[in-house]
């Protein structure tokens, strides 16, 4: 039974970064000597990688801008951000038990970019092949799902997904001509859908010449959350347990839209990702880094040297994940990286809930988090869905942020959701859930 309030989502609380008054151009990082591409894989695929049964393997040469299939030539799901030679393909198991294939590429001199994307555009600008290339752009735009007939609204979002980042606001402001070209292309691809630009209110005047319908939103966290944005546009909360796409929405980040415009203009795929770094002294810097660049090199470009016991978080302070190595790479959707010195480590504990109720009051989805967490701590995930609306969580991380006992509430929620999704997948494939 869903007990969530019918009165919609609660008001947002925390201010995002802004680009008011303009920002200096991002710091460019040098071309790295080696890049690492992380591709999420299922358990079966992990086993294939471990047994070295992949099409991409040590010794294979790749060309910048070409698309490759990790397991076979047909299913192309890897875009090479550099030209070079693969030095190894290995696996890593990350947070919540998710598996990744890591493809390490030793970079050669910047030579010719692959003509494959340009050829695909030449053959059919809106064809399947062109869209497969564009799906690999920074921000991971969901081009291959635009053809889904159920999509009624496409959100172009210049809001941020977490605090301490301003990449989408910057992309809209500083790359407006490319943004407009990208937005026009998306409108042509989805002629029946409503295409709307969601942006912080203070940028509304700046967006007038983009030709987009705009919705100005207070620049407060978690207003940029995709599920909350969709709920706002639909005029009612998204049904608990449904994905954005199942509810008829797709979201393109402003950075991805601008990258699309640039790709169409230059007929080559942009491979640089905008990332906001938070340095140990809490200052922020915007950097432009080749996808796959190790974090340590990006901080060096911003004048920060990482040392042992620094704590690195990829993805923002509320929803990001801690990473264990400074060689962790920048992914196409890495918007923020934070570094805390050992003296400023965020604290999490394994103490008990004191029932203060703060997490319940802050939760935008009105979930009784204090009760939910008791189920999750005992591994009662099905009950957590049935009785305490685990499915309604929009994954904002505010409950963990506010918890006076510093309990890892968000991490428990993410673990439960991942475990349930894996069980469902296993059941669909005829496996056992035990």
Contact footprint for ligand SF4 (CB under 6 A): 353-359, 362-365, 367, 369-370, 373, 393-399, 402-405, 407, 409-410, 413
Residue 65 near residue 116, CB atoms below 8 Å: yes
Identity of the residue, 50 or 377, whose beta carbon is nearer to ligand SF4 in the bound complex:
377
Distance CA 368, CA 374 (A): 11
Structure tokens of 372? 């939910």
Q: How far is CA 49 from the centre of its chain?
A: 24
Identity of the residue, 113 or 400, whose beta carbon is nearer to ligand SF4 in the bound complex:
400
CA diameter of the chain? 63
Identity of the residue, 33 or 357, whose beta carbon is nearer to ligand SF4 in the bound complex:
357
Q: How far is the CB of 403 from ligand SF4 (least distance, A)?
A: 3
List 177's β-bridge partners, or say none. Answer: none
Identity of the residue, 256 or 336, whose beta carbon is nearer to ligand SF4 in the bound complex:
336
List 214's β-bridge partners, or say none. Answer: 197
Identity of the residue, 264 or 321, whose beta carbon is nearer to ligand SF4 in the bound complex:
321
**DSSP letter assigned to residue 145:** G
DSSP assignment of 59-104 equals T-EE-TT-EE-SS-SSS--EE-SS-EEEEEEEEEE-GGG-EEEEEE
Identity of the residue, 176 or 218, whose beta carbon is nearer to ligand SF4 in the bound complex:
218
Residue 70 near residue 54, CB atoms below 8 Å: yes
Identity of the residue, 155 or 372, whose beta carbon is nearer to ligand SF4 in the bound complex:
372
Q: How far is the CB of 14 from ligand SF4 (least distance, A)?
A: 12
Q: How far is the CB of 363 from ligand SF4 (least distance, A)?
A: 3
Q: CA–CA distance from 236 to each of 153, 230, 231, 392, 403 (Å)?
A: 14, 9, 5, 13, 28
Q: How far is the CB of 221 from ligand SF4 (least distance, A)?
A: 11
Q: How far is the CB of 161 from ligand SF4 (least distance, A)?
A: 13
Q: How far is the CB of 100 from ligand SF4 (least distance, A)?
A: 23
Q: How far is the CB of 10 from ligand SF4 (least distance, A)?
A: 9
Q: How far is CA 102 from the centre of its chain?
A: 18
Residue 398 near residue 362, CB atoms below 8 Å: yes
Helices (H) and strands (E) in the chain, counts: 13, 18
For residue 381, what are the contacts with CB-CB under 8 A and spacing of at least 6? 375, 390, 416, 419, 420
Q: How far is the CB of 38 from ligand SF4 (least distance, A)?
A: 24
Distance CA 315, CA 329 (A): 12
Identity of the residue, 42 or 346, whose beta carbon is nearer to ligand SF4 in the bound complex:
346
């Amino acid at each position: 039974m869903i007990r969530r309030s019918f009165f919609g989502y609660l008001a947002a609380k925390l201010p995002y970064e802004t680009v008011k008054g303009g920002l200096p151009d991002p710091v460019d990082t040098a071309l790295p000597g080696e890049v690492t591409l992380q591709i999420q894989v299922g358990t079966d695929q992990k086993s294939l990688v471990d047994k070295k049964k992949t099409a991409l393997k040590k010794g294979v040469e790749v060309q910048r801008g070409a698309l490759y299939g990790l397991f076979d030539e047909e299913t192309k799901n890897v875009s090479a951000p550099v030209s070079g030679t693969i030095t190894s393909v290995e696996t890593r198991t990350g947070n919540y038990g998710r598996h990744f294939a890591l493809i390490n590429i030793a970079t050669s001199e910047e030579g010719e970019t692959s003509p494959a994307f340009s050829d695909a555009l030449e053959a059919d600008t809106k064809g399947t092949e062109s869209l497969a290339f564009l799906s690999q752009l920074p921000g991971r735009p969901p081009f291959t799902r635009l053809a889904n007939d159920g999509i009624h609204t496409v959100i172009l979002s210049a809001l941020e997904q977490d605090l301490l980042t301003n990449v989408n606001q910057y992309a809209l402001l500083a790359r407006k001509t490319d943004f407009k070209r990208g937005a026009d292309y998306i409108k042509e691809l989805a002629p029946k859908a409503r295409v709307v630009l969601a942006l912080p209110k203070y940028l509304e005047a700046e967006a007038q010449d983009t030709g987009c319908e705009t919705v100005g939103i207070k620049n407060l966290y978690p207003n940029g959350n995709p599920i909350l944005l969709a709920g706002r546009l639909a005029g009612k909360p998204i049904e608990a347990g449904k994905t954005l796409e199942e509810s008829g929405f797709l979201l393109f980040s402003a950075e991805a839209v601008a990258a699309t415009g640039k790709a169409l203009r230059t007929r080559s795929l942009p491979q640089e990702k905008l990332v906001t770094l938070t340095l140990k002294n809490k200052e922020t810097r915007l950097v432009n880094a080749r996808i796959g660049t190790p974090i340590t090199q990006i901080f060096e470009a911003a004048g920060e040297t990482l040392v042992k016991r620094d704590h690195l978080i990829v993805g923002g302070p509320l929803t990001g994940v801690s990473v264990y190595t400074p060689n962790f790479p920048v992914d196409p959707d890495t918007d923020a990286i934070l570094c805390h010195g050992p003296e400023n480590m965020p604290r999490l504990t394994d103490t008990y809930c004191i029932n203060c109720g703060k997490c319940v009051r802050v939760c935008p989805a009105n979930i009784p988090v204090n009760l939910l967490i008791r189920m999750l701590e005992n591994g009662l995930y099905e009950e957590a869905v049935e009785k305490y609306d685990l499915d309604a969580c929009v994954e904002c991380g505010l409950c963990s942020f506010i918890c006076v006992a510093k309990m890892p509430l968000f991490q428990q929620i993410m673990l439960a959701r991942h475990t349930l999704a894996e069980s469902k997948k296993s059941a669909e494939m005829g496996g056992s859930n035990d």
